[in-house]
């Protein structure tokens, strides 16, 4: 099945205490990569989230953004170092007395110092919130998958259009190929007669034509190219990720076209080869978007 690697998914799940919003964005990538941005206290869910996303995304780079609003994410504790405050206060008074300073010690002087007042956050177990996050991730992943499948159908239509063009050019090559040998025979005969109008060795002419026909024969390449095109068609309707397989097929098709171009001693075939290469390059670019 043709599925694009680019897409976007979003979900929002509410409970009485929390609202979880999940956004996913996927782009092309050789492998499957998943990057998660979420509150630090939920990092223990990272493996579960990646496993859940992998059920919908088999290939591509996925960025996941998780935001949570509500109470109960962390428990905050206030710690005051009374001993340090007392020592600091005594030190300030000693400095004032020593240098005859008149400034008063303000409350802000003490409370604004991190050494004296510290707020610590501790994680709290909240199974309900964890379940809410995983539910939101699942819905966003499904939404992302649906968009990727929709984009994949557009890619498939584009593939079919290019394949149809390839087949038409293949028919033109198949019809024209036999004429190449005949045209070579006539050119060779004409050149021989230009230099020698009295004697003519027909057997030598046939030998030269046979050698040329063997070197320029593209029948096997045309047959294999047609086979690759049909395999491309069948792969488009296959199950699971098909991007890498399609990329391999295009490489094989390019190989056959290059061989045809190297064998062909004909301007018409050379022109068709250029068109085939151009179409294959368009296919290759689009295949890079397929899962």
Domain boundaries, the chain: 7-72+125-148, 74-123, 152-287
Q: Which pLDDT does position 190 carry in this prediction?
A: 64
Angle (nearest 5°) at CA 175 between 193 and 284: 120
Given a cut of 50, the residues of the chain with pLDDT beneath it are none
User: How many Cα atoms are found within 13 Å in the side-chain-facing hemisphere of 220?
Assistant: 7
By the 8 A CB rule, do 77 and 46 touch? no
Q: Which pLDDT does position 100 carry in this prediction?
A: 81
Non-local CB neighbours of 72 within 8 Å, separated by 6+ positions: 17, 18, 124, 126, 129
CATH, domain range 7-72+125-148 = 3.30.230.10
Q: What is the largest CA-CA distance in the chain?
A: 133
Q: Quick one: CA dihedral 289, 58, 64, 119, positive or negative? A: negative
Q: Which pLDDT does position 95 carry in this prediction?
A: 83
C-alpha–C-alpha distance, residues 248 and 9, integer Å? 30
Q: Which pLDDT does position 107 carry in this prediction?
A: 78
Q: Which pLDDT does position 189 carry in this prediction?
A: 58
By the 8 A CB rule, do 289 and 146 touch? no
Q: Where does the chain have alpha helices with state H?
A: 46-54, 82-99, 107-111, 127-195, 202-216, 219-236, 243-263, 267-287
Angle (nearest 5°) at CA 262 between 260 and 265: 90
Q: Which pLDDT does position 172 carry in this prediction?
A: 92
Angle (nearest 5°) at CA 259 between 258 and 260: 90
Non-local CB neighbours of 236 within 8 Å, separated by 6+ positions: 2, 156, 159, 160, 242, 246
Q: What is the arrangement of strands in the sheet containing 60-70, beginning at the earlier edge strand?
A: 7-14, 18-27, 60-70, 32-37
């Amino acid at each position: 099945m043709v599925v694009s690697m680019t897409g976007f998914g979003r979900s929002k799940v509410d409970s009485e205490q929390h609202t979880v919003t999940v956004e996913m964005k996927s782009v092309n990538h050789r492998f499957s990569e998943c990057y998660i941005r979420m509150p630090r206290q939920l990092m223990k869910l990272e493996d579960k989230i990646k496993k859940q996303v992998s059920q919908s995304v088999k290939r591509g780079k996925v960025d996941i953004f998780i935001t949570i609003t509500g109470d109960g994410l962390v428990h905050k504790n206030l710690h005051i170092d009374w001993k340090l405050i007392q020592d600091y206060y005594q030190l300030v008074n000693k400095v004032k007395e020593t240098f005859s300073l008149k400034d008063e010690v303000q409350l802000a002087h003490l409370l604004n110092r991190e050494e004296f007042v510290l707020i610590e956050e501790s994680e709290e177990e909240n199974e309900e919130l964890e379940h809410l996050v995983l539910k939101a991730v699942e819905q966003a992943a499904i939404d992302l998958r649906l968009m990727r499948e929709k984009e994949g159908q557009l890619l498939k239509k584009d593939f079919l259009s290019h394949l149809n063009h390839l087949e038409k050019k293949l028919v033109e090559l198949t019809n024209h190929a036999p004429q190449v040998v005949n045209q070579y025979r006539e050119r060779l005969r004409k050149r021989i007669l230009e230099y020698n109008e009295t004697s003519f060795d027909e057997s030598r002419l046939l030998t030269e034509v046979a050698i040329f026909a063997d070197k320029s024969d593209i029948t096997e390449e045309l047959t294999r190219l047609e086979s690759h095109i049909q395999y491309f068609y069948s792969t488009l309707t296959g199950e699971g990720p098909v991007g890498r397989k399609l990329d391999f097929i295009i490489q094989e098709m390019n190989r056959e076209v290059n061989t045809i171009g190297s064998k062909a001693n004909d301007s018409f075939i050379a022109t068709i080869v250029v068109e085939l290469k151009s179409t294959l390059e368009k296919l290759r670019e689009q295949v890079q978007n397929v899962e």
